């Protein structure tokens, strides 16, 4: 390992400088990276290219009424709050209960969730399958909601069937439906409000 030091060193250095391709440098991995627990990771698909530029102003968020959230204090934009209240009332008239267990989540909150998973030993690429990297979750907009139960079982509930038929009338869209073009895993519990007037 020590051979080549001394007299040969200038030649070796010259070769290194002229033959290492730029693309082999680990720092040349593109602008979409996140720092978690002090480690910088490249953002992988399907999140890559889908960073959310619109973040809600926490000072302007509105609390979702307790009858829709139970014990949880959940905040969304005021338009989203009004829309989900109206939608839940319409569902209730047809015997369907819509319950919310997540709304606005800040960049810092999303970062802490992911850092917690990594600290417990989850590999990064596994953890980001269902937990968006900070800055990539629609929850930062204050217009995304998760309904209860916020897991795959939601697809088998009457609430999901009701939403599939009626949510569009209240300007809600299933963000990551089965077989979505973006390649995201199916999240039947996750819906987004858009101003559709």
User: Which stretches of the chain bind Zn ion, using CB under 5 A?
Assistant: 146, 190
Instruction: Name the residue nearer to Zn ion (CB basis): 42 or 106.
Output: 106
Q: How far is the CB of 139 from Zn ion (least distance, A)?
A: 6
Q: Which residues of 35-53 are buried (b: 16+ CB within 10 A; e: fewer)?
A: ebeeeebebeebbeebebe
3-state helix vs strand vs coil in the chain, percent to 5? 40, 15, 45
Q: How far is the CB of 162 from Zn ion (least distance, A)?
A: 18
Q: How far is the CB of 19 from Zn ion (least distance, A)?
A: 48
Instruction: Name the residue nearer to Zn ion (CB basis): 36 or 188.
Output: 188
Instruction: Name the residue nearer to Zn ion (CB basis): 36 or 138.
Output: 138
CA 17 and chain centroid, separation: 41
Instruction: Name the residue nearer to Zn ion (CB basis): 146 or 174.
Output: 146
Ranked by CB distance to Zn ion, the top (closest) residue is 190
One DSSP character per residue, 86-103 reads HHHHHHHHTT----EEE-
Look-up of token digits 């602008």: 31
Q: How far is the CB of 190 from Zn ion (least distance, A)?
A: 4
């Amino acid at each position: 390992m020590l051979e080549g030091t001394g007299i040969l060193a200038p030649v070796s250095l010259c070769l290194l400088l002229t033959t290492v391709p730029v693309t082999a440098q680990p720092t040349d991995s593109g602008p979409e990276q996140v720092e978690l627990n002090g480690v910088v990771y490249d953002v992988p698909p399907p999140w890559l290219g889908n960073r959310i530029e619109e973040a809600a102003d926490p000072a302007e968020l509105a609390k979702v009424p307790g009858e829709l959230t139970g014990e949880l204090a959940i905040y969304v934009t005021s338009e989203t709050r009004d829309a989900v209240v109206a939608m839940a009332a319409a569902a209730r008239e047809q015997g369907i209960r819509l319950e919310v267990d997540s709304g606005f989540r800040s960049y810092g909150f999303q970062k802490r969730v992911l850092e917690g998973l990594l600290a417990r030993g989850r590999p990064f690429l596994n953890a980001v399958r269902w937990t968006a990297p900070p800055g990539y979750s629609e929850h930062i907009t204050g217009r995304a909601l998760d309904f209860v139960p916020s897991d795959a079982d939601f697809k088998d509930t009457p609430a999901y069937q009701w939403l599939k038929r009626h949510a569009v009338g209240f300007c809600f869209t299933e963000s990551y439906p089965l077989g979505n073009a973006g390649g995201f895993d199916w999240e039947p519990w996750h819906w987004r409000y858009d101003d559709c007037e």
